[in-house]
Structure 1
Amino acid sequence: MKVSLIVPVFNEEKAIEAFYQAVRQAPDLREYQVEIVFIDDGSAEGTSDLIQGIALDDSDVILINFSRNFGKEPALLAGLDYASGDVIIPMDVDLQDPIDVIPRLIAEWKNGAEVVLAKLPLRVWSYVGGAISLVALACAAYMLLDKLLYGNEVPGFPSLITAILFLGGVQLVGIGVMGEYIGRIYMETKHRPRYVVRSVLKGDAPRNEHTRLERTVQT
């Protein structure tokens, strides 16, 4: 079975070799053919040159060079367009996603899951909102117990400020999430190309053709 790893990179020359070696030396991945699709999102340093050297020696490495920086999401889209594996997994080159999670994702896919996701991006905001709510509830419980057990008056100004800050914080989190989505909707309505590929380097192509593998603009 062939597994494709989609790896966007941007000025991450120092992390490339470590990531590549971690994938190739992972014992749990040796039973699979692992294709690594690097997408250079307009790096200004030697990231592309380093990956080219790897691709020349490894036929399962593909390098997609963007004409400029388009962002992580277009890079992931390009990886999906070029990947040829039975299973496609996006990864961070800095190993923030541990390599040993790949076999677990594949196992879930074999069990019938068509899409296996780590729902971190939006979940973070849920955690933030939950933490704020817990703090507010703890403060409210403290003031209530202080009133019932000791007869102390509930301080009006601090309790009012606590409530205002709590509601304001929740609203700001909600506005921030909505703003992110509205911004993406705005970019979509402009109908600009998702990304523009400057060149593609495939390890299994003849050496004299590496610099001539071009692809048209994706929309």
Structure 2
Amino acid sequence: MKKSPRNISIIIPCFNEEECIDMLYRNLHPVLDKLLFPYELIFVDDGSTDRTLEILLSLSEQNPHVRWLSFSRNFGHQKALKAGLDYAQGDVVITMDADMQHPSSLISTMLTYWADGYDIVDTIRID
């Protein structure tokens, strides 16, 4: 029996990613808008000292699907992921890095595997 998500959460920890955030968003936005499910993009600013938080604020004002958390200092990638998981409302959660090492084009494929009954879908980069 195929499953259908009610809501998808994508968690993206960020630390000093001002140069990546806009491009990541531009890559993710069209992929996510093609999905037939509601989604939220949760950016977790891990105490950045650059313009990362400013950019996230701007994106959240432009798109109601964009949500963000901000740490007062750098706590590390795993703490940022955990905070995003705690904040997520989706029944499907996808984690990505802000530096675009995870291709957004794989999201629909991952969701297909999940819908086919897999509880966990993971990818690994092979070069």
TM-score range, shorter chain: 0.7 to 0.9
Matched ranges for 1:53-132 at <5 A: 53-118=58-123
Aligned-pair CA distance for 1:14:
1.0
TM-score, normalised by the number of residues in structure 1: 0.52
Q: Which amino acid in structure 1 is aligned with residue 23 of structure 2?
A: A
Determine the structure 2 residue equivalent to 1:7. Answer: 12
Separation in structure 2 between the aligned mates of residue 29 and residue 105 of structure 1, nearest angstrom: 14
Determine the structure 1 residue equivalent to 2:3. Answer: none
Aligned-pair CA distance for 1:2:
1.8
Assess if the C-alpha contact under 8 Å between 1:8 and 1:76 holds in 2. yes
Separation in structure 2 between the aligned mates of residue 104 and residue 15 of structure 1, nearest angstrom: 24
Greater helix fraction, Structure 1 or Structure 2: 1
Judging changes above 3 Å, is the alpha-carbon distance between structure 1 residues 58 and 45 closer, same or farther for their aligned structure 2 residues? same
Assess if the C-alpha contact under 8 Å between 1:23 and 1:29 holds in 2. no
- Runs (5+) with no aligned partner, structure 1: 125-219
SS in 2 for 1:89: strand
Q: Deviations over 1:40-61 (max 9, x none)?
A: 0010011001100111121111
Separation in structure 2 between the aligned mates of residue 27 and residue 40 of structure 1, nearest angstrom: 21
Q: Deviations over 1:8-58 (max 9, x none)?
A: 000010111111111112277332322100000010011001100111121
Aligned-pair CA distance for 1:71:
0.8
Q: Which amino acid in structure 1 is aligned with residue 93 of structure 2?
A: I
Q: Which amino acid in structure 2 is aligned with residue 55 of structure 1?
A: S
In the alignment, structure 1 residue 24 sits paired with structure 2 residue 20: no
Q: Which amino acid in structure 1 is aligned with residue 57 of structure 2?
A: Q
SS in 1 for 2:19: helix
Which structure's CA Rg is the greater one? 1
Question: RCO greater where, 1 or 2, for CA within 8 Å and sep 6 or more?
Answer: 2
Separation in structure 1 between the aligned mates of residue 15 and residue 117 of structure 2, nearest angstrom: 34
Determine the structure 2 residue equivalent to 1:43. Answer: 48
TM-score, normalised by the number of residues in structure 2: 0.86
Identity within the alignment, %: 37
Assess if the C-alpha contact under 8 Å between 2:8 and 2:38 holds in 1. yes
SS in 1 for 2:104: coil
Aligned residue pairs, count? 121
